[in-house]
Amino acid sequence: MDKRKKKNLEAAGWKVGSAEEFLELDEAEVAFVALKLRLSEELRERRVEGRLSQVELAKRIGSSQSRVAKMEASEASVSVDLLLKGLLAAGATAQDIGRAIGNERRRTSATVHNPE
């Protein structure tokens, strides 16, 4: 939000702040929300790249298509456990999940990584 708009809103009596401030989230809660968002995004990317429909992924995890949609939308009712189960069912490895959590871009199998 630009400074002028913020100043005008505050002058009109509005309180302007972040979602974290409004919800009174502490650092750990903000980090947890960000982690769930990254896992949800990774799940959708993996599913699409693997050419799986939501129905196919749902069958793999013993759930429903609507639940997979909620997983990909990072719905609050979705547990981290279910997101991890979905990622593994979509072909992610523990290393892939670690990179997703760390917000590191995935490397393709053709990419060579030199640890030096």
For the stretch 45-61, pLDDT in tens is 999 999 999 999 999 99
**Nearest one of 43, 37, 4 to 19, comparing CA atoms:** 37
pLDDT greater than 90 at residue 113: no
What phi, psi does 34 have (nearest 5°)?
-65, -40
Say what the pTM is.
Answer: 0.72
Supply the pLDDT for residue 42. 95
Which residue pairs, CB below 8 angstroms and at least 24 apart, start in 106-111?
none
Confidence at 6, pLDDT banded by 50, 70, 90: confident
Supply the pLDDT for residue 103. 66
